[in-house]
Amino acid sequence: MRNPLDTLRPDVRAMHSYVVQDATGMVKLDAMENPHRLSPALQAELGERLGAVALNRYPDGRVDYLRQVLAAHTGLPAGYGLILGNGSDEIINLLAIACNRPGATVLAPVPGFVMYAMGAQLLGLNFVGVPLTADFELDTPAMLAAIAQHQPAIVYLAYPNNPTANLWDDAAIEQIIEAAPGLVVIDEAYQPFSSKSYLDRLARHPHVLLMRTLSKFGLAGVRLGYLIGPQALVTEIDKVRPPYNVSVLNCECALFALAHLEVFAVQAQEIRTQRAIVSAALGVLPGVKVWPSDANMLLVRVPDAGKTFDGMKAKGVLVKNVSKMHPLLANCVRITIGTAEENERMLAAFQTSI
């Protein structure tokens, strides 16, 4: 019998696992989570609700209801529908499965969210990353040239982008959408913190889809992402979704959160307020550059990112050193906005680690 590992794809064996840093006992500012927990009263109410869920049945009925609630919450254009995923990560894979034809390409600006490339690679599609400009804007001529050359099945535009935290220029987005021969997915994972959304422009283009998630909103542990698009397109893509991909527990937590929107709206506002405070405090430090942010993170350039990351970690604050992700991110760290108290600890650790 041969080595069972030899049965696996060589490219899978050559891959690195998605690294999740151990944050035990640390101020965790590495993954754009909402730092606020539910109040004890709400947590208890949710516990009671989850205690009453029928776990012996598959989740379909309740998930259909969640889809309707999310559609109403989002305010879909007429004739639009949505697909639910186990986080937007799963939606990215579903899109790759649905578009996977020989030679199909996924295209996105880089540095960007790593799952676009990973989803493409795992499903056997080509991935083309088009570098941003040095100031992390879309390089529109380069994007248009790459679209003309590669004729991508899917173009991803994260709006705002991760890890650069910025929104793209509206005219550049429209040019890219008009040039794209396939689907364009506007990824609004950070919409709760953003000054803009593409939602009210969505119905202009039948090949544009909008992806959102409840993760950054405050439910990263729940795993619920969704894709909004013209119903005919959504119906076709939904065929590749594994039945029951969203559990009754995910579903019940999401419904609970959507029934308490005001709590999350206050948290998002608090995070935006803290973002301004942290950004100003970091921006005045010598040798430090902070980019504008429409998300719950700041991209920060320091003289030596390795030193800053290690120094902060030694002081109990975990951020993400993104320097190795892309040459444009040399000496950059990405800092998630935490609670006021966490941010103070972060700033103290940062100041003594540059």
Residues that bind ligand PMP (CB under 6 A): 32, 87-89, 113, 158, 162, 187, 189, 213, 215, 220, 225
Question: Looking at beta carbons only, is 225 or 230 nearer to ligand PMP?
Answer: 225
* Nearest residue (beta carbon) to ligand PMP: 87
In angstroms, what CA-CA distances link 279 with 134, 176, 290, 348?
20, 31, 7, 14
Query: How many CA atoms are closer than 13 Å to the CA of 230, on its beta-carbon side?
Result: 12
Other C-beta atoms closer than 10 Å to the C-beta of 43 total 10
Residue 213 CB, nearest distance to ligand PMP (Å)?
Answer: 3
The answer to whether residues 95 and 120 touch, using CB atoms and an 8 Å cutoff, is no
Which residue, 294 or 342, is less far from ligand PMP as judged by CB? Answer: 294
Closest approach, Cβ 92 to ligand PMP, in A, equals 7
Which residue's CB is nearer to ligand PMP, number 89 or number 342?
89
Closer of 88 and 267 to ligand PMP (Cβ):
88
What is the closest distance, in whole angstroms, from the C-beta atom of residue 16 to ligand PMP in the complex? 17
Residue 130 or 354: the one with the smaller Cβ distance to ligand PMP is 130
The one-letter amino acid code at 313 reads K
State how far the Cα of 84 lies from the Cα of 68, in Å rounded to an integer.
11
Minimum Å distance from CB 41 to ligand PMP?
26
Nearer to ligand PMP, 97 or 288 (CB): 97
C-alpha span between 167 and 158 (Å, rounded): 8
Which CB atom, from 34 or from 162, has the smaller least distance to ligand PMP? Answer: 162
> Minimum distance between the CB of residue 88 and ligand PMP, rounded to whole angstroms?
4
CB of 335 to ligand PMP, least distance (A): 14
Q: How distant is the alpha carbon of residue 205 from its chain centre?
A: 23
Q: Which is nearer to ligand PMP, 20 or 284 (CB)?
A: 20
CB of 148 to ligand PMP, least distance (A): 25
Structure tokens at 244: 């029951």
CB of 215 to ligand PMP, least distance (A): 3
Query: Whole-number minimum distance, CB 252 to ligand PMP, in Å?
Result: 18
**In this complex, which beta carbon is closest to ligand PMP, that of residue 98 or of residue 354?**
98
Closest CA to 296 of 340, 346, 335, 351: 335
